[in-house]
Structure 1
């Protein structure tokens, strides 16, 4: 008996070219050509198969907004809406502050993220809203959350506050509207845009007579008169005229305390006199507390001092000796009913699900961790190929960090402290990533251990109002970075960062009012693609995305043009070996000749889609000669000679990276997937044979599958047809001439096996042939692994 074994390397090499009919969406050719190029020919069979790699950042507890209240017995509670992802909605959870136990938890029917939560003293109910627009309520003791509806379809809820009479007010994005909800009647009232032109009603503070509203993308303060329905704007001090957002507010006696960004200064406004009476520079964290039981002090955090007490009589402040390593998200004065915590204790929540408490009499503290709260995997924002062969995964608002997937071992490592990553770049052995917010660039030497603050070290920062470093390309000793500006701003930038010196030179508005979202380098020049969009919260003024050529030495733009009329973002730029630039814009693939500086071909190969910055669109040339593209929520293979396209994977595909073996990685929501070219594709069976089958079996066309079958008689595969036999037996010869593919996996054949001229791949694995085995003229060559043959072996099978 002859036993045929293939080396693992040889098996993988042959498997890379194996192709069968697989369950992917129908192959597509150009549905709407925009050039006179010849029509696309039929695509070649698919190679490889999709492989799920699970959730690279498996779980997080992140509640962007929190609130606190009490149950009917007066027991203090903390309320969380922990973030979900595209597959898993957010979750409402309640912690008993005395015991530390989670006393209620419910996965919401809809909505992923929440920045809006308030406890109404009037009716003892917590109200919370989702950025997707849903409003919910829950009263301690209820068995379930109550869905109150979607007040304004298309508008997300970004802040809530309950007035003393129980009316709940909410602020929205992108309309920047103020609305109210009456729990007694269930009625919503739209009070209009709080400040003309401001898209976020970002923070609210309601009292008996009115509602204070702070906005974004420009920091504006206005007051809504509940009796007249009129808004009256209050001018901030002159030095804050260009600030971006009024983020948090607290009413304390006659004073309104408001925190503004980016300075994080705390402004103290006397609502009686209409004057700003004090400014506390650079506080840290979200919220300021309500006054203590004496009515004299409020509390907030300053990073260098910890928690400070602010005296409302003297407008001075001093640290209290309590410095939790957390940003305040909500404050409450709570009765903990414990001898170490007499009277009322100051309780602070933190958006990672943690609770901190401090008693002003005993100076005792308490900490409650997030272990009992349920989180959800982080949504993936971007993928990168590391110089160490690993695939790096960035995630949305990622408290756990970023993930490193090692293709060699199949293991995932969490790299803590990375933050939200917008894009990856490399130089030498270094991985560089751009972090949101504030456009930080961090440099990780992949040959050394990960250690935040040391490797990567402190971030270099792109200035000039940039926020999201998305695109990277190495040019000489420099790293070019394309970025998106801050909220409410137009005009991204092309920056050149020198890793040796840390110097960042920024050229803003290389294409006026557009963001730089893709980059490629060739012969010392930079080729960039733009998005018409600026930061969130501002409408674009440009109507078409552009392709530009820039000199990195000067930042001068040498050439600009619109490669795809009507396109809103140009992304996924890459060069082929011949020096042709390929790009994609809103479903249209195009090529560009750097010598003539002209688009040479453009065809809408994919369904038209538009996103803010084109995160979902990437291009990659693989050594099999095909171009691979993520666009319109799918992974596509494109034959660059014919432009024939095949959809390999669909249903929300985004981003793209490759490992050293050429396998492709992409994301769906929080999950990571790999298109593994060494996997045998799973067939779509037109005919399935199981159990005993007497007599000859002919495969005339399509795909016939033997699944646990016992065939007595010959099996004949006609030209173009596919046979897939698994865990089966055949008593008779198996012959295939010109087949579309042949798979024998776990099969015993009593008789000769002959496979000649297959054009779709031959795979013989864990199979016994009692008789001769002959293979010839198959392209690609057969893949054999663990095959026992009693007769002679000839042709390609003998050479394997």
Structure 2
């Protein structure tokens, strides 16, 4: 075990980050040879945000109601907050992690949680009385991610894993782990886990199985779920016993519908609770009711009458407030001191760090900001809008983006999607695609920015039936329509090329344009869409192709004109762009910058930018970017986490940075790049 260095996060830390965001202090990060080396200027964090994706409520020994929260960022943070005041009672960074996985509270008050990336499967404990935070282990059971911890009556912690769909337990009395093994060869995740009448129930995905395991013997049985409930279900994402019922959340069915199993009869209820978001159901209140957020409204399931009823929540200010946030990942029934006593309230913590409360007796509400310090979010999408400014999307965020002003290089925070993937311009408007479900928003930058209204939602291709698409990485305007290249859903191979009319919302999906491959990069010219593919499909899928392809698609004829293997070792062909004299350029996973004839796909020139074995064959390659710089006669490109300048005349390669993910050229000619968290201004050196 490793005890972490702890302490409150000072306000000065946040102030320093904000100062860094505005500072323009130039420093050569890595330089090409020549009289004037390239300069890479760090403009500070691309996006600062509070991003609570895991939360659990509890009561301290003195009766203080608290919420424990993990805020994703670089690094992730763990905070204990007083629910009634929003004050931070304890806070610490979690070095080596950027993402939380679960938080659960044992009967003795001990908090267990998991965090990861780049750390693998980190398991932690926190003692609220002593404020001792301990890293128990990492890479638990040889796994990468731990999911949905739950504690049995005898104090043992159980959780699921990825990528081998295991169930594992941890005994805090002995410090021993027990590996119950992979639950199925058909799925990579045990994503949900709950304790049901002393058994450990585990739900898998993206092939759904529901198992009940005897924690002593390890013997198990499969719990059968009626076919009527399993329609368009690939995952069990939540399991919670409330009274004599088990509430089971299903995905993607209906946006996380919840099915109810009556333990006394073994029968599943005919009705479902629709569209239950990111939170488990609350504990029961004094009337035996457990609460969920269904379609954004607080809804009660009565465990005594097996009935679902509404509350007065819809008539308060809370729905409108929460609609502006990505989600609420933790809700609970609590008795709060002051005006709420002795009546109970439902309390929640939103992704933005707002603690909200709804009093079950009076209908009164409150909203207060929790003192959770922001962290740099992971930069994910990068593109240029019609105003010439660069726009940046965040990875699994609380709904954050940013804009880099082309004139001043100032970074402005914006509201955005949970995860902004591809960003481009079409028909004079800004296009932002997002995950999950392959979503498209389009915005008029002459109007005020109000995410959800402007940019407005235009399309969700959707997980599950009928199209099974999840991430849009390739995007290009074809003039009258927008072309979208996608990676499929979890467990699926076969991306799609979608043509979208953003004015009307009409679209057509062409799946398996290149059989079994994802489409990750697109360009367009004269009625032809050119695309690069990746052999990898959705997460937890097995590739069916050995090498990626470059292809040309005739938009009017709706057919492939040609398909080319530019490198037998390429796991992806990304970073498509136009070079001089109309050549089509791309970058491959195995470190080749290739020029091709757009009429035939024939390779006319290759430059090796990195050793073939250094690339990631199974990556999607969405961050590969290529820009032709006519002034220097060179390509500016990112691939496999490096920033290159490739001089076309002599094929020399200069590495400008060994830690850079993406690059674009904005409307003023600035090269704007991002690494994991920060944004940079790149100035090319003299060519000599």
Q: Normalization by structure 2: what TM-score?
A: 0.88
**CA distance in 2: counterparts of 1:418 and 1:241, whole angstroms:** 28
2:601 is the counterpart of 1:609: no
2:599 maps to 1:595? yes
**What CA distance in whole angstroms lies between the structure 1 residues aligned with 2:210 and 2:151?**
19
Q: Distance in 2 between matches of 1:252 and 1:399?
A: 29
1:721-760 alpha-carbon deviations (Å, 9 max, x no partner)? xxxxxxxxxxxxxxxxxxxx9xxxxxxxxxxxxxxxxx95
| Corresponding residue number in structure 1 for 2:101 | 115
Corresponding residue number in structure 2 for 1:388: 387
Which one of 505, 508, 511 corresponds to residue 514 of structure 2?
511
SS at match of 1:201: strand
Instruction: Specify the SS of the correspondent of 2:621.
Output: coil
- How far is the alpha carbon of 1:96 from its aligned partner? 1.8
Residue 222 of structure 1: how far off its partner (Å): 1.6
Are 1:250 and 2:240 counterparts?
A: yes
1:124 aligns with 2:98: no
Residue 145 of structure 2 is aligned to residue 146 of structure 1: no
Q: Helix, strand or coil: the match of 1:560?
A: strand
Aligned-partner SS, 1:484 = strand
Secondary structure, counterpart of 1:114 in structure 2? strand
Counterpart among 563, 568, 572 of residue 560 in structure 1: 563
How does 1:492-507 map onto structure 2 within 5 Å?
492-507=495-510
Rounded Cα–Cα distance in structure 1 between residues aligned with 2:242 and 2:573? 50
User: Do the aligned partners of 1:574 and 1:583 also contact (CA within 8 Å) in 2?
Assistant: yes
- State whether residues 253 and 295 of structure 1, in contact with CA within 8 Å, keep that contact through their aligned partners in structure 2: no
In structure 2, the residue matched to 1:487 is 490
Give the C-alpha shift of residue 355 in structure 1: 2.2
Which residue of the partner structure matches residue 221 of structure 1? 210
Matched, 1:536 2:508: no
Tell me the CA shift for residue 25 of structure 1. Answer: 5.1
Give me the whole-angstrom Cα distance separating, in 2, the residues matched to 1:351 and 1:406.
27
Task: Tell me, yes or no, if the aligned pair for 2:674 and 2:680 is still in contact at 8 Å.
Answer: yes
Match among 294, 299, 324 for residue 291 of structure 2: 299
1:73-112 matches, within 5 Å, as 73-85=62-74, 89-112=75-98
> Does structure 2 retain, via aligned residues, the 8 Å contact 1:75–1:335?
no
Where does structure 2 lack aligned partners over 5 or more consecutive residues? 1-26
Residue deviations 1:519-552, cap 9 Å, x none?
1223321211111111222232222111111111
Q: Tell whether 2:641 aligns with 1:633.
A: yes
Instruction: Give the deviation of 1:313 after TM superposition.
Output: 3.5
Q: Is the 8 A contact 1:129 1:159 kept in 2?
A: no
Q: How far does the alpha carbon of each residue in 1:43-99 deviate from its partner, in whole angstroms, 9 at most, with x for none?
A: 765554111111232x211121111222222322210111122xxx21110012244
Per the alignment, residue 279 of structure 1 pairs with: 271
SS at match of 2:352: coil
Partner of 2:360: 360
Residue 55 in structure 1 maps to residue 59 in structure 2: no
* Structure 1 residue 140, shift from structure 2 partner: 1.0
2:404 alignment counterpart: 405
Verify the 8 A CA contact 1:564 1:602 in the aligned structure 2.
Answer: no
Once residues 460 and 196 of structure 2 are traced to their aligned partners in structure 1, the CA distance between those partners, rounded to angstroms, is 41
Q: Which runs of 4+ in 1 moved over 6 A?
A: none
- 1:666 aligns to what SS in structure 2? strand
Per the TM alignment, residue 152 of structure 1 is displaced from its structure 2 partner at its CA by 3.0
Tell me if 1:664 matches 2:667: no
In the TM superposition, residue 588 of structure 1 has moved relative to its aligned partner by 1.4
1:167 maps to which residue?
Answer: 156
Pairs within 5 Å for 1:35-46: none
Indicate the residue corresponding to 1:315 in structure 2.
306
Counterpart Cα distance in 2 of 1:613 and 1:339: 54
8 Å contact kept, 1:422–1:470: yes
Identify if the C-alpha distance between structure 1 residues 250 and 596 changes in structure 2 by more than 3 Å, giving closer, same or farther: closer
CA shift digits 1:328-377 (9 cap, x unpaired):
4233333323353205443333333222233434444333323x111202
SS of structure 2 residue aligned to 1:74? coil
Alpha-carbon distance in 2 for matches of 1:406, 1:469: 25
Is the CA contact 2:196–2:246 (under 8 Å) kept in the aligned structure 1?
no
CA distance in 2, matches of 1:112, 1:576: 37
Aligned partners of 1:345 and 1:359 also within 8 Å = yes
Please name the residue that 1:369 is paired with: 369
- Offset of 1:133 from its aligned partner? 0.9
In the alignment, is the contact (CA less than 8 A) between 2:241 and 2:247 conserved in 1?
yes
CA distance in 2, matches of 1:654, 1:580: 24
Deviation at 1:601, TM superposition (A): 3.3
Structure-2 residue corresponding to 1:435? 434
Native 8 Å contact 1:342 1:361 kept in 2? no
Aligned partner of 1:203 in structure 2 is 192
* Superposed displacement of residue 398, structure 1: 2.9
Give 1:661 deviation, angstroms.
3.6
User: Following TM superposition, by how much is the alpha carbon of 1:288 offset from its aligned partner in structure 2, in angstroms?
Assistant: 4.1
Any idea what SS the aligned residue of 1:161 has?
Answer: strand
Offset at residue 183 of structure 1 (A):
0.4
Structure 2 partner of 1:236:
225
Corresponding residue of 2:61: 72
2:6 matched to which residue of 1? none
Change in Cα spacing, 1:130 to 1:539, as seen in structure 2 (3 Å) is farther
Deviations 1:224-250 (A, max 9, x none): 221321232223221425412222222
Deviation at 1:137, TM superposition (A): 0.3
Contact residue 476 and residue 523 of structure 2 kept, 8 A: yes
For residue 261 of structure 1, the aligned residue among 251, 263, 272 is: 251
Q: Computing the radius of gyration over CA atoms, which structure comes out larger, 1 or 2?
A: 1
State the distance in 1 between where 2:600 and 2:360 align: 74
Kindly tell me: are residues 639 and 291 of structure 1, through their superposed partners in 2, closer, same or farther at Cα, counting changes over 3 Å?
closer
1:630 offset after TM fit, Å?
0.6
What is the distance in 1 between the residues matched to 2:358 and 2:30?
Answer: 59
Q: CA shift at 1:270, angstroms?
A: 2.0
- Which whole-Å CA distance do the structure 2 matches of 1:138 and 1:206 have between them? 21
- Displacement of 1:105 after TM fit? 0.7
Q: For residue 468 of structure 1, report the CA deviation from its aligned partner.
A: 1.1
Question: Tell me, which stretches of 5 or more residues in structure 1 are unaligned?
Answer: 1-21, 28-42, 682-740, 742-758, 761-800
Query: Distance in 1 between the 2:329 and 2:452 partners?
Result: 25
How far did residue 251 of structure 1 move? 0.4
Deviates more, 1:72-81 or 1:159-168: 72-81
Range moving further from structure 2, 157-166 or 312-321: 312-321
Q: Distance in 1 between matches of 2:576 and 2:361?
A: 63
User: Are 1:606 and 1:631, in contact at CA under 8 Å, matched by a contact in 2?
Assistant: no
Structure of higher RCO (CA pairs closer than 8 Å, 6+ residues apart): 1
Q: 2:121 aligns with which of 133, 141, 150?
A: 133
Q: CA contact under 8 A between 1:65 and 1:80: conserved in structure 2?
A: yes
Task: Give the aligned partner of residue 707 of structure 1.
Answer: none
User: Is contact 1:616–1:630 with CA below 8 Å preserved after alignment?
Assistant: yes
Q: Is the 8 A contact 1:218 1:242 kept in 2?
A: no
Which residue of the partner structure matches residue 691 of structure 1?
Answer: none
Partners of 2:187 and 2:205 within 8 A in 1: yes
